[in-house]
Each structure stands twice: as C-alpha cells, then as structure tokens.
Amino acid sequence: MFEAAGRSREDVFAQLEAMRRGDADWRGGRVPLYVFSGPPDVREIGQAAFNAFFTENALGAKRAFPSLARMEREVVEMGLDLFHGTPESVGNMTSGGTESILLCVKACRDFSRRQRNDPTHRGNIVIPHTCHPAFDKAALLMDLEIRRIPVRADYRADVPAMAAAIDAHTIMLVGSAPCFPFGVVDPMAELAELALARNIWLHTDACVGGWMLPFVAALGRPVPAFDFALPGVRSLSADLHKFGFCPKPASVVFFRDPVAAGHAVFDLDVWPSGRFVTATFVGTRPGGAVAAAWAVLRYLGREGYTRIAAEVMAMRDAYLEGLSAIPGMTIRGTPELANIAFGRDDIDMAAVAALLAARGWVPGMVREPPSLHLMLSLHHAAAREAYVADVAACVAATLASGGGHTRLEAGYA
C-alpha cells in the first residue's frame, strides 16, 4: 500500500539491502547471464558518468543538452569506425537490443513499402532458427511474417536453406554475430552475397558480440567478417550494455546510409505542441546511459577493450577445457565468443540444471539440443572451478539416478 508518511533514508536503504539478500549472487559468478562485468575501474567510471547525467533527458539533446548530443554522436562514430562504416553511415543509441532490432525492422519495412509503392505490403523476414525472438516481437508489432529456418549441424545459418525460403515478399535476411544460444557467428559473407544477388536488406544482429568481436580478432583469433565491410550488410545492432561493459540501458543501431536510416524515424505532426520527431521508439531516454557509454568507450579505447577481450577469452578457454573434461560432455558448436552451450545426449540435462539450482546456481539452459548455457563475463572467473566441479557432480548424480527427469524448462526471461 502507499504509506501515509515517508520513511527515513536509512530505513529505505536498509530495506533495499534486506530485499537484495534474496537475489542470486551474480558477483560470485552464479548467474549465467543478465549482468556483464568489466574490471572494477570500468564499472566505477560508468556508474560515475551515469550519475553525473542522472537527471538529463536525452530526448532534449538537440534543444537543451548539446553535451548529450555530442556524446551520442561520438559513440556512434566510434562504433562506425569499429564496424567499418562508410562515410555516409549513420546510427543512434537505443535502450537495448530489442529496440535496436525493432528500429531496423521498421526501417526495412518502410523502405520496402516505398520501393514497392505499396504502403500496406506485408512482407516476410527470413532468419536462422537461432536468431533472437526480438525479430518475432518486431513482426508481431508490424504485421510481418517470420520464417525461421533450421541451422546447420554446426549451429550456423544454413544459407542455401534460407535462399530457398525467399520469395517475392521477402524484405529482410538476418544473421547473428554471434547467436545467443551457441556463441557462433553466422556465415555473414555468404548471406551478404545472397542479399546483394536478391536485392534484399541484410541485418547483422551483433547485439551480443558487436563490441567484443573486433577486439577478439585483434588478438589473432579467428572471427568471420560480419559488419559493413561486407557490402550486402544494410544495418547492424550492437549492445553497449553487454560486452561493451557500459551501464544499462545502452545499445546502438547502425545503418549503411541515411536513406536506410531515415525510414526508422518517427516524424509526427499531429498535436497542439507541434511536430514530434524521434529516431527511437521511446521518447524520454536516460541521459546517464549516453554519458556512461561515452565515458567507458573513451576510458578504455582499443587497447583497453583488447586487454579485456584477452581476459574474457582466456577465461572462456579455461571453462571449455574444464567442461570438456567431464566424461561424455560435448560443447555445442565452436563458439567465437564467450557464449557456450554444452551437454550430454544420454541424460536429461534439465535434471542436471535442477541439481545445480539446488546448489545455489542459476542454471542457464538451451532447449534444442538440451544443454546447459553460459554467457561468460569477468565476474565468472572466480567461480570457474566450483562451477565445473558442481556440473560434474550433478552429471554423476543424474547418471546414478537413471538419467534423470524434471519439468524444468529452458527460458531466457
């Protein structure tokens, strides 16, 4: 209920801390997703910059807060430099990967309708089965059809199968860099060739790995081409609040050219207060998120991100080594980044997950094929030995019980 009188600051914060005691221990590496940690100094500068612009509203960046306008512009410029944008390429910050994806789908839909001279055309989008559900969410909102195509045995997009699914109403192709479930990058070069040959918009969903893959490549590790260096890529989304290690909420959507970007804009002149123009779905946006992203990117630079990438990938390799040593355990695919799925096909992996939960872990799960899942960040380093040991123990317990059975189901939210 809404209390009649307010409480003291001490009382409010005491209760906040009391409620937090029931949360999962992400700091101890027991949560496989949701939180993405860089080094403590990076978290500190992001939080300080966010708080410095805690009250400002990025909706008013052009009229009232030129500092935020400049910071957002420079964040986009840094991203375009990283992702091989052209001199004409543009972009803007959003609240997260879902909004970035919604905006690129809107841009593609409206661009296609303009090209076809058909303002009511109901197109379809052809995507690998491993693509994020945000594309389905966009299709539901915009009355589009999603065609999910089974992936190859290595969990990457099956380009010939996607080509076969294209028809006269296809407006977009999508590939992931990497996909969330298995951490593998789709064959974007092949998809780009297909998109150019069929004159179809291609989007790279780099929400997971965009701000990490270039630095992993700088370490000499194999990273397939995925960005605007491929002429067929028309738009790209990349989340700053994942492996960019920036405070939430922060993502960026990029477009190859202003024509493509212009179709993402909302330009409404319908009410007494005058014309209302936004390049995002949301109106009010936290100025702190813009300032924090700018501060973290400037603080780290290429050298800092490459150093963190080396730490993350070394930790990932150690996880893979430990998990692979568990008898019968298989790593699903060959992940380019720190998203990994692993399992055994002769036991119920959901039963293993349930046993892990009983030991205080939040189990990440993949439904197809039944697997456990990790999206590793630096705070997982200290938990590696305990996690691998508990997985091994829970697998052994499941085998001893006859293979196990549970109703626990995979889910993201």
pLDDT at site 408: 63
The residue ranges of every structural domain in the chain are 45-298
Contact 230, 188 (CB under 8 A): yes
pLDDT at site 404: 64
CA 123 – CA 171 distance, rounded (Å): 6
* Closest listed residue to residue 156, CA positions, set 215, 236, 104, 226: 226
pLDDT at site 410: 61
Q: Is 238 helix (H, G, I), strand (E, B) or coil?
A: strand
Position 409 confidence tier, pLDDT thresholds 50, 70, 90 = low
Each residue of 51-85: pLDDT tens digit?
999 999 899 889 999 999 999 999 999 999 999 99
Containing 314, the helix (H) or strand (E) segment is: helix 287-324
Each residue of 350-395: pLDDT tens digit?
999 999 999 999 999 999 999 999 999 999 999 999 999 999 999 9
Kindly report the backbone phi and psi dihedral angles of residue 233, in degrees, each rounded to the nearest multiple of 5, phi listed first: -75, 120
How many CB atoms within 10 Å of residue 196? 14
CA 317 – CA 57 distance, rounded (Å): 41
Amino acid at 17: E
Contact 116, 169 (CB under 8 A): no
Each residue of 25-55: pLDDT tens digit?
999 999 998 899 889 999 999 999 999 999 9
* Closest listed residue to residue 123, CA positions, set 134, 132, 135: 135
Please determine, for residue 228, whether its predicted confidence score (pLDDT) is greater than 80. Answer: yes
Please determine, for residue 174, whether its predicted confidence score (pLDDT) is greater than 80. Answer: yes
Pick the CATH number of 45-298 from 3.40.50.720, 3.20.20.10, 3.30.420.10, 3.40.640.10: 3.40.640.10
Each residue of 210-219: pLDDT tens digit?
999 999 999 9
Contacts of 286 (CB under 8 A, 6+ apart): 50, 54, 57, 58, 249
pLDDT at site 402: 78
CB contact burial 36-58 (16+ within 10 A = b; e otherwise): bbbeeebbebbeebbeebeebeb
Position 342 confidence tier, pLDDT thresholds 50, 70, 90 = very high
CA 391 – CA 410 distance, rounded (Å): 17
Q: Is the dihedral of CA 38, 221, 175, 230 positive or negative?
A: positive
